[in-house]
Structure 1
Amino acid sequence: MESRFLGIDELTDIPAVAVVVDVTRAFTVAAWAFARGAEKIVLAESLDEALALTSGHPDWIALKDGPPAPGFDAVNSPALLRSADLTGRTVVQKTTAGTVGALAVKEAPLVLCASFVVADATARLLRSRGCTDVTYVITGEQGRAEEDLACAQYIARRATGDGPTDPAPFLHRAATSRAATELAQGLRAGSHPDDLALCLDLDRFPFPLLATSEPPLLTLRPGPS
C-alpha cells in the first residue's frame, strides 16, 4: 500500500482514497456524536453556512470550534459532547482544520475522516476495500501537527495488515504534541480538561467515519463496523 502524508495546502490533485485526520478535536468529536446517537454530520464550509443550514432545519444542531456563540448549540469538545442526547439528530460541524481538510478532498472516490478513537476501524475499511494508494491529509498546523501525523502513520501501518503495530510510540508523539500541550493547559477555548484523554482513547469506537457527497453537502456517517 502506497501512503502519502500531505497538508491541506499540499494537495495538488484528487486522491484515489483520502483519509482526513484531525485528532484534536474534530474527528474525535464526530465519533462521539455518532456514539451519542447522531444520524449524520454535515460538514460546513463556513460559520455562516452552518448557521444558515440550521436556520433552515430547526431540528439540526450546529457545532463549532472555540467558545460558545449565538446560534451554535455545541462546541468542538468530546468531553462536553459525551453526555448529550443526539438520537436521530443531524449535526452541522465547522472547525478550523478537520472540516476544511475533508471539504478539500470531497471529490475523491473514497473519503474517510479519522482520529485515534476510530483508528482500527479506519484501517480495517482500507484493507477491506483493497486500497493500494492512500493520501492521508494532515489537517492541523498547516500539515505539521504531530498528533495528526502520528495517527495517520499508525493507521497506515495497521492498514497494511502486516502484523501487530505497537501503538505506544504513536500515542506518545500525540500526547506530547503542541496541540496536546495546549489542551492540557486549558489554552484552547471551548475545551474541557478531559478532552485530551478522550482524543487519545485508542479504538474506542468500532466504526469508521465515511464522508459522502450528498449535493450540495458533504455528509459524514458511521461506516460498517
Structure 2
Amino acid sequence: MSIVGMEAEVPPNTVVIVIDVIRAFTTAAIAFERGATEIVCAPSAEVGRNLRLLHPDHLLVGEINGLKPADFDFGNSPFEMSMAQLDGRRLIQTTSNGTRGLVRYPDPAVLLAVSALNVGATARWIRTNHAETACTLVCTGRTAEDQACARYLSGLLQGSRPRRTDLIAGIMEGAAEHVRAYARQSAPERVDLSKDLPICCDVDRSEFAMVGEVRRGPRRANEGATLNAASLPADIRPGWSDGPSGLTLRPPTDGALPKPARRAPAHVTLRTPQVQPVGPTLVPRQAPLVRDLGLCAAVPRPDATGTSSPGTRIGLVGSGEWSGQIWR
C-alpha cells in the first residue's frame, strides 16, 4: 500500500483511492445527503460547462481558484450544499484538485473518491470487495489534510485503530495552511473556510463508499471515469456485475448519458444512495466542535428533529440502511 501525490504514476489494476478533504469530496458527500441522485465530476471548468450544455437540467457546482464562478449554481462548499434542496437533482462538479485527480487513472482495479466523511465506509467496502488487491492512496492536495486522511485510511485497511483525533488535527493543520496561503491574496480572492471546516472534520458521517468505473472520452482515453455511491454493507446486489475493472454498477439506459452523436467529454459520475429507515428512531450525530485557529465557531447542537441551526445537515446513525440506485 502506498501514499502518493497526484502527479505520481500509479500501477494499473490496483485499487486507486483519490482523496480530497478540503473540499471536493466532502461537498459531494453532502450533496448526496441533500438528495442529489447524480454528480458528474469534470476535470476542468471548461469540461464542466460543456457537460452543462449537454445536460441543461444539471446544476453546475465547483470553483476556480477556490471561488464560485458567476455562472455556477453552487460553489465547492459543503456548508452551502448542506442548505440546498437537491431531491432528485443531478449535479456537475468541477474543482481544482479532487475532480481533476479523479480522472487521471484509466486502468484501476477499482476507483474510489474519499474524504473524512466516508473514510471508514470506504475501508469497509475495500475489505469486503478487494481485500487481496494492492491499494494506492492519492492525495490530490499538497496540504496536510489529505495526507492525514490517507494515513487514517491506510491504518484502517491494515487492521489498526487509528485515532480520529489525529485525523481531525491533520485537517485543522491543512486548513491553517490554506488560510495562510489565502492571506497572501487580495481580499476578493480569499476563500472563507470557516463554515466548511466543521463539516470537513465530521469523520465517518457518511455510510457509503463512492466507487468508480472508468469512462473514456471520445479522444483521450485517460480523461474520465464514472463513480457510484455503493451502499454498506457492501455485498453484491442484483444488477451488479463483477467485471474486469472491479465491482461496478452499469450505466442506466434511461437517456441520462449523452447519445453517441453528441458525446460528452470524459468525466466522473457519482450516484447517490437513499436512506431507508427500518425503525422509528434515528440518532443524530453531532459534528465535532472545531475552535482551533479561530477559523470557525462550534457547530450548533441538533434539535429533536435531527437538524441544526443555521441549517447544517447532521448525519444520521443508528437504525438505518443505505440502499443505492441499481444500474442495469
Aligned 8 A contact 1:77 1:190 in 2: no
Aligned length: 218
Deviation at 1:214, TM superposition (A): 4.0
Quickly say closer, same or farther: Cα 1:181–1:45, change in 2 above 3 A.
closer
1:68-104 CA-to-partner distances (Å, cap 9, x unmatched) read 3233111100001101111222211111111111111
**Structure 1, unaligned stretches of length 5 or more?**
none
- The structure 2 residue matched to 1:166, chosen from 163, 167, 171, is 163
Instruction: Kindly indicate which of the two structures has a greater share of residues assigned to helix.
Output: 1
Deviation at 1:195, TM superposition (A): 0.6
- The structure 2 residue matched to 1:27, chosen from 25, 36, 50, is 25
The aligned runs of 1:113-192 (5 Å cut-off) are 113-129=113-129, 130-141=131-142, 145-162=143-160, 164-177=161-174, 179-182=175-178, 189=190, 191-192=192-193
CA RMSD of aligned residues (A): 2.1
Quickly say closer, same or farther: Cα 1:131–1:27, change in 2 above 3 A.
farther
Q: Name the counterpart of 1:198.
A: 199
1:88-146 CA-to-partner distances (Å, cap 9, x unmatched) read 222111111111111112431201100101011011011111144100001002xxx21
Structure exhibiting the larger radius of gyration computed from Cα positions: 2
Aligned 8 A contact 2:14 2:133 in 1: no
Question: 1:73, 1:94 → 2: CA distance?
Answer: 12
The sequence identity of aligned pairs, in percent, is 32
Question: 1:204, 1:171 → 2: CA distance?
Answer: 13
Q: Name the counterpart of 1:77.
A: 77
More moved, 49-58 vs 120-129: 49-58
Aligned 8 A contact 2:61 2:76 in 1: yes
Quickly say closer, same or farther: Cα 1:21–1:61, change in 2 above 3 A.
same
Question: 1:46, 1:205 → 2: CA distance?
Answer: 26
Amino acid at match of 1:8: M
Question: 2:109, 2:89 → 1: CA distance?
Answer: 26
TM-score of the aligned structures, taking structure 2 as reference length: 0.62
Higher relative CO (CA 8 A, sep ≥ 6), structure 1 or 2? 1
Question: 1:36, 1:50 → 2: CA distance?
Answer: 21
Question: 1:118, 1:132 → 2: CA distance?
Answer: 20
